[in-house]
A and B are shown apart, each in its own frame.
Chain A
Amino acid sequence: MIALYAAHMRYSVLQQFQYRAANYFYMIGMIAEPVVYLVVWSTIARAHGGSIDGLTPGGFAAYYIVWTLVRNMNIVLTPFAWEERIKDGTFAGQLMKPVHPIHEDIAGFMGWKLVVLLLWVPIAIVLVLLFRPTLSPTLLQGVVFFFAIWGAYLIRAIMQWSLGLITFWTTRVAAIFEAYYLSEMLLSGRVFPLVLMPKWFQTLTWYFPFRWSFSFPIVALTGPIEDRDLFIGLGMQVAWILFGIGVLSLVWPRAVRRFSSVGG
């Protein structure tokens, strides 16, 4: 399996180097979102005497600069892609291989991330110079962050892969996917750090996978966070990954039975 993943990642890296200009433009476009959040929250913090709930402009800068890395790391195959890959026959080709097609997607996007990371470094340097983040993680935070960003990736990859399988039951999937993404926007810490939200809202986020694929890896590095919460966070990621695998193993055989291979 390691050899298979290595081969898919290598293949993906080769592909993405073909699209390096497109990737760079994508990265620059992607930066716009966190920069807007950062400017807005920093302005609000200054208006409130320099901080909100303990987050200073430097803290917001750290949050949103790490955000850009986490966002790149947790990009996965979108559920919207399923319709196209069924139509153009790609999925039929995947089904003919003696390995589960999810491995191709997970490994392929892992390879893509290696290229994106290279492109991200200069952008991160510019953001650091512009916004002066306050960031002083401990060694433990750094180690947990490393695992947490891959955990975040796996949660999103498995969840959205499973979600995409709805395409086998109905073609009117866009509304369902949009509802999922809206929930993720609100409950993940993508738009605002969850620490700014009321206690009940923060508690609510525990019961969804979104927090563990966005806010947790960011806060694991930027803090403030107790060592105990770092391990609880990793544990929650493992739990959501196992939950996702459970859902997938239930839904996949039923979905593939409904495959009509109309596109090839």
Chain B
Amino acid sequence: MAIIEVGDLSKTFTVPVREQGLRASVRSLVHREMKEVTAVDSVSFTIEAGEVVGFLGPNGAGKTTTLKMLSGLLHPTGGRCSVLGFEPKGRPSALLRQITLVMGNRNQLQWDLPALDSFELNRAIYRIPRADFVATRDELIELLDIGTLVTQPVRNLSLGERMKMEIADALLHRPQVLFLDEPTIGLDITMQRRIRSFVADYNTRYGATVILTSHYMADVQALCKRVIVIHHGRLVFDGDLTALSDRFTTQRTIRARLADGEEITILAARADTASATARLLAEHDVVDLTIEDPPIDDVIEQVFADAHDAP
């Protein structure tokens, strides 16, 4: 069943334009020049219940704008979208009780109080029955390993610890749909791994649908079978992560270790991989052989480059 349906979704912002300098400043008092910027341009996709989908694109591609439209923060200027059967732009309370938006660079917790106090406030806001609240809170504390941190003022926590608190706070009402906008931004490798494993765990336990944006390909590889790539507001790819590599890369890397200890690396055209491998095996005494797709970062870079070159 499709949980999220998006059809020709568009968002255009009207922004003021002003050249630098005093003259331009004075002129803008009388006449303010405006221009339209298209952030999202006729994007369409559907997402099924329980899917974890990576939403990829360079800065300014329109990822966050799309997430904000899906969560009801922004009103689309064209097309349509529905989440859990609701139109998000009216921000119906029944929808907001079932979704959450976590932004990696934003702090929603009160700085000077322990996170437990913020959790308690969210209990009242979402009208969570006390028993359910305690069960979910304790489960999240355990899953995120934040038992010793929830009683400390948020300002005393590290960035990674704060992020875990933000995530716990955002999930107390057990949302069915999670919009995670760069949840691991600025975190060290260990903390990134912990957040990733938590998201995977949450998805498995509750069957939650997750849309994740991240510039760290490790996040996407660890969590998302399917990716949607957006560039200049347009959807350029929607499919399996593996298919992304097949479609956008022309070469694979063949590495061989020979009996005498020498290592050989060959870049072969994707279509010629089998014949190049056969040739290598026939011509050398190979003891170990690997065939690799290019790193996903390189694939994504290639996707963006192709999209940029496209008319």
Contacts and interface: CB of A to CB of B under 8 A. Distances in A.
Given A14-B113, A259-B74, A93 B125 contact: no
B125 A264 contact: no
A199 interface: no
A222 B13 CA distance: 54
Contacts of B74: 259-261
Contacts of A260: 13, 74
A7 B124 contact: yes
B106 A15 contact: no
A60 B72 CA distance: 53
A263 B93 CA distance: 23
A197 B124 CA distance: 48
Interface in A75-130: 89-90, 92-93, 95-99
Interface residues on chain B, size class? 20 to 34
Contacts of B106: 89, 92-93, 264
B134 interface: no
B194 interface: no
A96 B71 contact: yes
A42 B110 CA distance: 45
A4 interface: yes
Of listed A6, A257, A259, A260, residue having the most chain B CB within 10 A? A260
A169 interface: no
A264 B96 contact: no
Contacts of B72: 95-96
B113 A18 contact: yes
Contacts, number: 72
Interface of A: 3-4, 6-8, 10-11, 14-15, 18-19, 89-90, 92-93, 95-99, 256-257, 259-261, 264
Contact of B73 (A11, A18, A92): A92
B257 interface: no
Nearest to B98: A98
Interface string B239-272: 0000000000000000000000000000000000
A121 B184 CA distance: 48
Interface string B86-115: 000001011011011101011110101100
6 contacts: A4-B125, A11-B113, A89-B106, A96-B100, A256-B91, A261-B68
Given A96-B96, A96-B100, A261-B68, A11 B75 contact: no
A97 B125 contact: yes
Interface string B11-23: 0010000000000
B121 interface: yes
Contacts of A3: 124, 127
B232 interface: no
Interface string B117-135: 1101101111100000000
Contacts of A7: 120-121, 123-125
A10 B122 CA distance: 12
A5 B299 CA distance: 51
Contact of A261 (B73, B97, B110): B73
A15 B125 contact: no
Contacts of B113: 11, 14-15, 18
Which interface residue of A3, A4, A96 has the most chain B CB atoms within 10 A? A96
A63 to B, nearest CB: 37
Interface in B261-296: none
A11 B110 contact: yes
B93 A96 contact: no
Which 8 A-B residue pairs are closest in the complex by CB-CB distance? A7-B124, A98-B96, A98-B93, A89-B106, A93-B108, A18-B112, A264-B106, A11-B121
A96 to B, nearest CB: 6
Interface in B160-191: none
Contacts of A18: 112-113
B60 to A, nearest CB: 12
